[in-house]
Chain A
Amino acid sequence: MTTGIVKQSGTTRRGAIKTLAAGAAVGSLPLWARYTQAQTSEPIRIGFQVHRTGIGAAYGRWYDRTTTAAVQRINDAGGINGRMVEVIAEDDGTDPKRGAEVVEKFASQHNCDIGFGTLFSHVVIGSAPRAGELKLPYFVVSEGHHVASGMLNRYTLQPGITDVKSQVQAMAPFIAGNLGKKVTMIYPDYGFGYDHRDNLKPAIEAQGGEVVGMIAIPPSETSFTKYFPKIPRETEVVYHVMVGPAVLTFVKELGEFFGPSRPEIFGFIDSLEAVDMASPGLEFLEGTYFWEGMPRYAQPDQTGHDKLYRAAVGVDDNGASVSDPKDVSTYAHMFGCWETLYVIKAGMETAGYQGPADRAKLIEAVEAMRHMPLSDEHPQGAKLFNGKTHQVFGPQYISKVTDGKLLVVHTTSIEDTMYPDEVDYTSQAF
C-alpha cells in the first residue's frame, strides 16, 4: 500500500492521530524541553481548505489526491526545513461562509502555518478577508482573477495556477490566426460566462478579428436548439464555454444542428473536465479545439516531469485514474495544488521559516520569486510570478480532438498571457 486513499488517509487520519498523541506527550514535558521539542520535530501544518462536499466535491477529490501525492513526495525528500509536512484537511462545503470559518479554524484551532488549496472563486472571495484579518498566508488554487484584480489582500496569493483573464486572452492569437476572424461566443448568462465575454472580445479585436455574435444562455436552460439559429451565418469560429449538467446535451444538439458542415469550434475544457472524451454524443467534438490548463492525455513529446507527476498522482496516459480508466481526473486544474505546495516549500526555505512569527517573511519570500523553470516541481510548464499582483503566469495549451483524444497543437508563450498590473499588494502593510 503505497498510494491512494489508504495512503491519503495516512496523511490526514494518521497525521491527526499522531498529532494528538504528540500533543499529549509534549504537554507532559517541562517547558524548556517542550520548546526544544517544538523546534526540532513540530511538523509544518498546512491547512487544506478542500471542497469535500457541495458543488466543488468532484474537484475536491482530485485536489485532495494531488495534494496528498505532493506532500508525500515532499516528506519523502526530507520535508521543509527539515520538518515534516502535515496536512489538516477541513471541508468547506464549497460554501463561502464556511470557508471563512475554516480559515479561522486553521489559524486558531489547528495552529496551521498557512491555509491552502481553495478552488471555487466565491469561497476564495468569502475566505480571503478572514485570512487577511488573521494574518494567515492563504495560497489559493482557484484560477479566478480576483487575486490579480486587487480585490483581496496581501496574505492571499495564487502562485501555482494561472488566472482566467490570462487564459482567455492568450487564446485570441491562435483563434484569429488559425481558425477564423469572425467569432460567435456562446456562454452561460452569468459571471463565469461574462469573464469570457469581457476578456475575449478585446483580445480578438486586438488580433484584427471580430466577435460577430454573442449568445448568452440562461443558466437553467437544458435544451439549446432554439439558440443555434441565432449564430450569424458569417461565423467562422464558435467559441463555447457552456457548463453545468446540460453541457453534454449542448454538445449533442450543436452537432445535430450543424451536421457535417460546421464552422471551427473552440471551447474550454472546463465544460468537459473529468468527462471521458469517448462518451457517446461527444463524437461531434472530433476536430474541434479546447483550451487545457495541462494536457490531459500524455503527449508524444511528454516531459519526464509530466510522467513523474502522473505516476505520483496515480493518473494514466489518458488522464484517468490508474485504478479505473473511466475515472477521469480534473487534469487541467489539479496540477495547481502540486505546484503551489512546491512554491510554499521554496518560500519557506528561502524565508528560513520557523513558525507563525515568520509568516510575513514567507509572503515576502514568495513575492520576491520570479522565474519558476519547468521541472518536477512545476510539471505544467515554466512560470513567471508577479510579486506585486500575487499571480503566476504560465503557458496555456490548445488541443485538438483527434481520434477521441486531446492532442496539443499549440502552446502559448507566457507573454501571450500577460496583462498590465491592476494592483501592487507589496505596498500594503502586513
Chain B
Amino acid sequence: MSICQYPPRFKGLTIFGLLAPQQAQAHASEQGFVLLLPTDAYIAAGTACVALTVLLLALLPGSVTAALFRPVAFGLRIRAAGVAPIVSCLSCLLLATLVWAGLYGPRDPLTNPLPLAVWTVWWVALVTVQGVLGDVWRWLNPWTGPVAVTRRLLRLPVLFRLPAWLGQGGSVATFLGFAMFMLADPAPADPARLATVVAGYWLFTYIALLMFGPRWYWRGEGIALLMRNYASLGLFGATGGKPGFGLTGWQAVAHRVPRAGAAVFMVVMLGTGSFDGLNETFWWLDLMGINPLEFPGRSAVVKQNAVGLLVANAALVSIFGLTVWLGLRLAGGDLDPVRAFCLFAPTILPIALGYHVAHYLTSFLVDGQYVLAVMNDPLARGEDLLGLGTFYVTTGFFNAQDSVRIIWLSQAGAVVAGHVIAVAMAHAIAVRLLGDNRRAALSQAPLAVFMVLYTLFGLWLLASPRGV
C-alpha cells in the first residue's frame, strides 16, 4: 500500500524493522539474532513437550490429574472487605492524576506517565500478576469504590435491569473495543489521545455501573471479565471460604462452568493475543501486500488490523468449538456441544496468559526502564528518588546472542508452559465429566491435536521475522 505519491526511500531502515502495538520497540534488533538461533530445534522440542504431556496424561490414572489441581487451604482468614472500596477510590484518584498528566504533561509517550502506566504497568505487568498470583484487580479497579460511594451518598437504586438475553455480550463487545484501540488505532500511546480514551471509558463504565448495577461489571465490562478470567489461573484464591494455594488453573478447574458468552470471551482473549503477534509477521504483511521492510505506519493498516482481529477471533472460536464437538463425538457422550464448549473454554486461559507474557516480555524489558526513570523523578524536578543517578535506557541485551537466546527461550517457555497446563486442565475436566480415563483421553484427542498445533503456531510466531 503506497501512502505517498513517490516511492519512499528508506535511508536508514536497518535490522530494527519491527514494532509492537504501543510502546517503543527498540527491542527490534534481537530479531536478527533470533533468526540465527536454532529455533527449529527449539520449536520441535517445545511442541514435543506438549505432545508428551498429552500422552502422559492419557496413561496416568485420572486421579493423578485431579490431584494436580487440588488446592491447599490456609488456616487463617483475612477480613478486609471494607478496605477494597478505599483502595479502589485511591486507584481512581491515581488514574485521574495520570489522565491529567496525559492531557497536560509531556507529549513523548515514553516520558509521559500515562502511556507507561497504562501499557507497561497495567496491561503488561498487572495483567501478568493477576494471571500468576490471583485477583488483585478486585482491589485495584477504579470503579467499585467510586460507584459504592456515589450510590451511598445519593442513595441511588439500580435504575435498569440488564437484559438477561445479552449474557456476556457486553463484555465481549467492550473487550473487542479495547483490543481494537490497542491493535488498530494509529496512536494508542499518544498521551492526549490515550487520556481521552481512558477518561471516556472510565466515565462510560461508571455511568453503566450506576444504571445497571454490579451486573454490568460482570456482563458488560470487558476488562473486569478479562481480569476475573486471569485471576482464575492465579496461584492464590479462595477454597471453601478460606484462602487457598494451588497449581496454576486450580481455581478455573474448580469454578462452575462459565456461561456461553463468558466461554466465548475466554477464546477471544486468546484470539486477540494471537492476532497481536500474527499481525507483525512477514507472513501477515505479505498477505496484506505490504513490503515488510518498509512498513507504512499504523495509519495505513487500520482497516486490515480491525478486520483481521475480528476474523482471527471468529476463526478461533469456530475451530475450538469444532474441536470440542469432535472430541465428544469420539468419546460417545451425549453432551450438548454448547455446554461442552463452555466446559473446556477455561483451558484456553493459560495459553492466553503464556502468549501475553511471551509477546510483551521484550517490550517490558525496555519500557520498564522508562517506567523506572519516571518513578525516579515523577514530578520532573530533577529528583533522584530511586537513587538511579545517571540513567540511560539500554537495549544492549538485544545485541548479544547469549542474552537473546535467554530471552527467546523464556518467551518460548511461557508459551509451552501455558499449553502444558491447558492440556492438564482439559484432561482433569474431561475425567470429571466422563468418569474414566480412557474415555477422557479419547475425548481429548482432537483438543490435544489442537493444543499441539497451537504450540507450534505460538513458537513459530516467536521465531518469525517481523516487519512492524
Contact = CB atoms under 8 A, between A and B. Distances in A.
Given A53-B22, A220-B292, A120 B13 contact: yes
B108 A58 contact: no
Nearest to B396: A326
A324 B6 CA distance: 40
Interface stretch (B183-191, B266-274, B413-421): B183-191
Interface stretch (A92-100, A254-262, A387-395): A92-100
B19 A55 contact: yes
Interface string A9-33: 1101111110010000000000000
A119 B29 contact: no
B389 interface: yes
A50 B108 contact: yes
Contacts of B32: 245-249, 275
Nearest to B113: A13
Interface of A is mostly: mixed
B12 A325 contact: no
A58 B28 contact: yes
Given A6-B382, A52-B24, A97 B299 contact: yes
A59 B26 CA distance: 8
A369 B51 CA distance: 70
A398 interface: no
A180 interface: no
Contacts, number: 331
Contacts of A246: 32, 35, 465
A191 interface: yes
A326 B392 CA distance: 13
A44 interface: no
A273 B14 contact: yes
B336 to A, nearest CB: 46
Contact of A57 (B24, B286, B380, B466): B24
Measured as residues with beta carbon below 8 angstroms from the partner, the interface class of chain B is: 35 or more
A222 B4 CA distance: 27
Given A243-B13, A272-B14, A191 B465 contact: no
B390 A4 contact: yes
B410 to A, nearest CB: 18
Given A52-B110, A188-B293, A93 B298 contact: yes
A230 to B, nearest CB: 20
A219 B293 CA distance: 6
Tell which of B14, B291, B396, B403 has the most Cβ of chain A within 10 Å. Answer: B14
Contact of B9 (A17, A191, A323): A191
B25 A53 contact: yes
Contact of A245 (B17, B23, B104, B394): B17
B81 interface: no
Interface in A228-265: 243-249, 252
Given A12-B108, A220-B292, A248-B33, A122 B399 contact: no
Contacts of A60: 24, 26
B382 A10 contact: yes
Interface in B98-127: 104-112
A328 B396 CA distance: 7
Nearest to B34: A245
A163 B8 CA distance: 14
Nearest to A327: B396
Nearest to B294: A190
A337 to B, nearest CB: 13
A270 interface: yes
Nearest to A95: B297
A281 B36 contact: yes
A399 B9 CA distance: 24
Contact of A6 (B13, B29, B35, B388): B388
Tell which of B16, B29, B286 has the most Cβ of chain A within 10 Å. Answer: B16
Tell which of A97, A194, A270, A280 has the most Cβ of chain B within 10 Å. Answer: A97
Contact of B395 (A10, A273, A327): A327
Interface in B22-47: 22-26, 28-29, 31-36
B160 interface: no
A245 B462 CA distance: 13
B189 A53 contact: yes
A5 B394 CA distance: 10
Contacts of B370: 5
A322 B397 contact: no
Tell which of A7, A192, A328 has the most Cβ of chain B within 10 Å. Answer: A192
B449 interface: no
Nearest to A143: B11
Contacts of A404: none
Tell which of A142, A145, A188, A327 has the most Cβ of chain B within 10 Å. Answer: A327
B396 A192 contact: no
B14 A243 contact: yes
Interface in A42-64: 50, 52-61, 64
B231 to A, nearest CB: 30
B18 interface: yes
B106 A245 contact: no
Contacts of B465: 220, 222, 244-246
14 contacts: A9-B111, A16-B105, A17-B380, A52-B110, A58-B28, A95-B299, A96-B8, A122-B294, A125-B6, A188-B293, A244-B293, A252-B36, A271-B14, A274-B399
Given A4-B392, A91-B187, A122-B3, 17 more contacts: A3-B392, A9-B380, A13-B377, A55-B295, A60-B26, A96-B299, A98-B299, A105-B107, A142-B11, A191-B7, A244-B292, A246-B32, A249-B35, A273-B12, A274-B16, A274-B399, A276-B400
Task: List 7 tightest A-B contacts by C-beta distance, closest first.
Answer: A95-B297, A326-B396, A122-B8, A13-B380, A327-B396, A97-B299, A245-B31
